[in-house]
Chains A and B, each alone.
Chain A
């Protein structure tokens, strides 16, 4: 008997608490698979966010640290600077990374911290119940934008991958999604490259994942993926935003 597909050793056996069709579980799996394939599970420290992924430390099969809301890049800096040989990544949502933790992510990228940040952009606050995020699309409804996001009142959604790519310290930024297998494979490749560049000591690496939140978008999972491709991918273009990392390995 040969195994065609089984759950990665990069994840623990704890059942995930995420809602049906949520992108977090898929991205967790991709990170776990990449860490397992690169042989990094024994030398990785993951920094978990506040938000829906607050329990991520109980899911990843590596040492983890739970950070305060938005502070994961600062916490990661403390770990990586004192353990330069270890692999360090942060896993952050849009409220965590693009709102309360904007300073921390910008300056970690500015310093060229040799860490990897996986940014889950689902255009909404999930854990707290569907409030407007900095990434919420214009017109998109949220519990704190009941009539839809109005730029006159709330400004325009922020494109983090592009913004961070203006910084020299960032060597790699790609925006991906996980709505189908080709795109999922691309996402995994991006995550892998980010970790490889980190371990080659190149600099700060960033993967933004457009991710569905069926519950707070008020949609069925399949409908959410369609909406993501039609609306989110239109405003947040998929693909490599910056890659100055060169060859690794």
Chain B
């Protein structure tokens, strides 16, 4: 069962709250800025995701949707 993280990257403001709460340390800021000019959060290793949804819950801008197959 694969877990998928979808980032609505142009909504992200790069606050890093999600990154700080990820127990698997698989979130990071993208090197390229989004349309707002922020470096948005992204997942560096989706296969390692356990689907705890901490990132999505804390996100002030509802950037992250999490699904599993």
The reply to whether B62 and A11 form a contact with Cβ atoms under 8 Å apart is: yes
List of A residues within 8 angstroms of B69 by Cβ: 1
User: Which residues of the partner chain B approach A25 to less than 8 Å between Cβ atoms?
Assistant: 59-62
CB-based contact B17/A222 at 8 Å: yes
Contact partners of B60 in chain A: CB under 8 A? 16, 18, 21-26, 29
- Which residues from A are CB-within-8-Å of B62? 7-8, 11, 25, 29
Please provide the chain A residues from 1 to 35 with a CB less than 8 Å away from any CB of chain B in the complex. 1-8, 11, 15-16, 18-26, 29
B38 and A5 contact, CB distance less than 8 A: no
Chain A nearest CB from B55 CB (Å) reads 9
> Which residues on A sit within 8 Å (CB–CB) of B53?
4-5
Interface presence of A230 (CB below 8 A): no
A220 to B29, CA, bound (A): 15
Is B11 part of the binding interface, using a Cβ–Cβ cutoff of 8 Å?
yes
Among the listed B38, B54, B65, which residue makes an inter-chain contact with A20, where contact means beta carbons less than 8 Å apart?
A: B38
Nearest residue, chain B, Cβ from A220 = B16
A152 within 8 A of B: no
A1 touches B17 (CB 8 A): no
A16 to B15, CA, bound (A): 14
Looking across the interface, which residue of chain B has its beta carbon closest to that of A29?
A: B62
A22 to B14 alpha-carbon distance, docked (Å):
12
Give the residues in chain B near A225, CB-CB below 8 Å. Answer: 17
Nearest residue (CB) in B for A13 is B62
Query: A4 contacts B68, CB within 8 Å?
Result: yes
In the assembled complex, how far is the CB of residue A25 from the closest CB belonging to chain B, in whole angstroms? 3
| Given known contacts A180-B21, A184-B57, A4 and B3 CB-to-CB distance under 8 angstroms | yes
Whether A147 is near chain B, meaning CB under 8 Å from some CB there, is no
Residues 4-37 of B at the A interface (beta carbon under 8 Å): 11, 13-17, 20-21
Contact of B17 among A4, A6, A24, A221 (CB under 8 A): A221
One digit per residue, 1 when the CB lies within 8 angstroms of any chain B CB and 0 when it does not, for chain A 214-229 equals 1000001110010000
Assess the B14–A20 pair: CB atoms within 8 A: yes
Q: Can you name the residue of chain B whose Cβ is closest to the Cβ of A27? A: B60
**With a CB–CB cut-off of 8 A, which chain B residues contact A18?**
60-61
A181 at the interface (CB under 8 A from B): yes
Is B66 interfacial (CB 8 A cutoff)?
yes
Provide the residues of chain A in CB contact with B13, threshold 8 Å: 19-21
In the complex, chain B residues whose CB is within 8 Å of the CB of A19: 13
- CB-based contact A2/B38 at 8 Å: no
Nearest-CB residue, chain B, relative to A15: B11
Decide if B58 is an interface residue (CB 8 Å cutoff).
yes
- Residue pair A221, B3 in contact (C-beta under 8 Å): no
A-B contact pairs, 16 of them (CB 8 A): A5-B53, A5-B65, A5-B66, A6-B66, A8-B62, A20-B13, A21-B13, A21-B17, A25-B59, A25-B60, A25-B62, A29-B62, A181-B21, A184-B57, A184-B58, A221-B17
**Which A residues are closer than 8 A to B by beta carbons?**
1-8, 11, 15-16, 18-26, 29, 178, 180-181, 184, 214, 220-222, 225
